[in-house]
């Protein structure tokens, strides 16, 4: 049976998982990302992680395609990493093609949030035409599903919602700019606030103990304004909200939703928007990557069928 290998690369952990063609998942495995990312040659390190995983966890399994999920900017054709802040050695590298040559397997890649979103889209009653995913973790992840395809932008950098400018914000962003909304609207900001104002509170309890503090109330309101701006531009059928911050105990998800709705233009997108909450677990990123690999393999099979001159003639005859 065909299998698909999904690999979710985060700043802390790299997670691997297999899925068969009937979407049964198995062999979840986690390694610390710095164990390979901080090597002199991180790509060789990643290749070794994958080879060892396949030998130890997937011996005898036929892997049809490997899908990598990366938290950075990829080229529009998803062939090249353009900016991956925590592994700069991979910038401008055709990572998937290089790994493919080394492993002797078909390797493809996409932004990690698109894999979370693909998982979440598949949990809906039917696949919508237009949906937007907002995943708030250490940063502000954004996935755009427009007209039944992921939208990448002309260079691949679409969905960088965390880097829209916020008036009066003088904070320096990791991207090099000043004033990005992400500097004040992310898990990183919450951790910094907690270090300053809630030293005795474990970060996981921040909202249960300090959720009514004006700074945290404004944090949620700022997030709502940012998300509502995008809803007013894109008019999606679904907004998927997820990520580690929203999963924190006591996070006021209902207040966030109410506040988003208060900023929506009537009658639309206000009346047509369904907001769903993602139930993201440790495994969701690589599960979504496995399913994205299966989708990509199907797309390629269809394209190669059409590209085959013999099939082209059959299709042309059918049309005629
Ligand atoms: Zn920025």
218-263 pLDDT per residue, tens: 999 999 999 999 999 999 999 999 999 999 999 999 999 999 999 9
Residue 72 in contact with residue 83, Cβ under 8 Å?
Answer: yes
Q: How many CB atoms lie within 10 A of CB 305?
A: 13
Q: Average of pLDDT values for 178-193?
A: 96
**What is the token pair recorded at 132?**
């937007």
| Average pLDDT score over residue span 280-304 | 92
Rg of the chain taking only CA atoms, in angstroms:
21
Distance 186 CA to ligand 1 centre (A): 12
- Which structural domains are found in the chain, ordered by start? 2-105+282-307 (3.30.420.40), 122-277 (3.30.420.40)
Q: Give tens-digit pLDDT for 84-124.
A: 988 999 999 999 999 999 999 999 999 999 999 999 999 99
- Is this model's pTM higher than 0.75 or not? yes
Predicted confidence at residue 320, as pLDDT, reads 55
What pLDDT, in 10s, does the model give residues 10-53?
988 999 999 999 999 999 999 999 999 999 999 999 999 999 99
176 CA from centroid of ligand 1 (Å): 6
Percentage of the chain with pLDDT > 70?
A: 97
Is the model's pLDDT at 280 over the cut of 90? no
Taking the centre of ligand 1 as the mean of its atom positions, its distance from the CA of residue 208, in whole angstroms, is 29
Under the phi-then-psi rule, with left for phi > 0, alpha for psi from -120 to 50, and beta for the rest, what region is 139?
Answer: beta
For CA atoms 40, 71, 49, 65, give the dihedral sign. negative
Residues with CB under 5 A from ligand 1 (ion): 163, 173, 175, 177, 180
């Amino acid at each position: 049976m065909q299998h698909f290998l999904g690999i979710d690369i985060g700043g802390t952990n790299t997670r691997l998982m297999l899925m068969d063609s009937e979407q049964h998942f198995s062999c979840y495995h986690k390694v610390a990302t710095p164990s390979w990312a901080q090597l002199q040659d991180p790509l060789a390190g990643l290749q070794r992680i994958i080879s060892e995983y396949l030998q130890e966890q997937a011996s005898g399994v036929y892997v049809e395609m490997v899908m990598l999920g990366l938290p950075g900017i990829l080229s529009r054709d998803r062939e090249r990493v353009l900016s991956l802040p925590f592994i700069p050695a991979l910038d401008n590298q055709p990572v998937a093609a290089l790994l493919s040559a080394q492993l002797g397997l078909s390797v493809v890649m996409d932004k990690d949030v698109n894999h979370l979103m693909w998982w979440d889209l598949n949990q809906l009653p039917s696949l919508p035409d237009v949906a937007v995913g907002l995943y708030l973790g250490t940063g502000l992840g954004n996935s755009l599903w427009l007209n039944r395809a992921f939208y990448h932008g002309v260079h691949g950098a679409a969905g960088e919602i965390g880097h829209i400018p916020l008036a009066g914000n003088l904070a320096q962003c990791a991207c090099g700019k000043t004033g990005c909304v992400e500097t004040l609207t992310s898990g990183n900001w919450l951790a910094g606030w907690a270090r300053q104002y809630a030293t005795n509170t474990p970060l996981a309890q921040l909202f249960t103990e300090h959720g009514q503090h004006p700074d945290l109330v404004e944090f949620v309101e700022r997030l709502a304004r940012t998300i509502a701006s995008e809803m007013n531009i894109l008019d999606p059928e679904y907004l998927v909200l997820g990520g580690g911050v929203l999963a924190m105990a006591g996070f006021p998800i209902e207040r966030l939703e109410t506040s988003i709705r208060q900023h929506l233009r009537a009658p639309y997108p206000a009346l047509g928007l369904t907001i769903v909450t993602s139930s993201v677990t440790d495994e969701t990123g690589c599960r979504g990557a496995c399913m994205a690999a299966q989708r990509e393999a199907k797309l390629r099979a269809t394209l190669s069928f059409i590209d085959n001159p013999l099939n082209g003639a059959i299709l042309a005859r059918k049309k005629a």
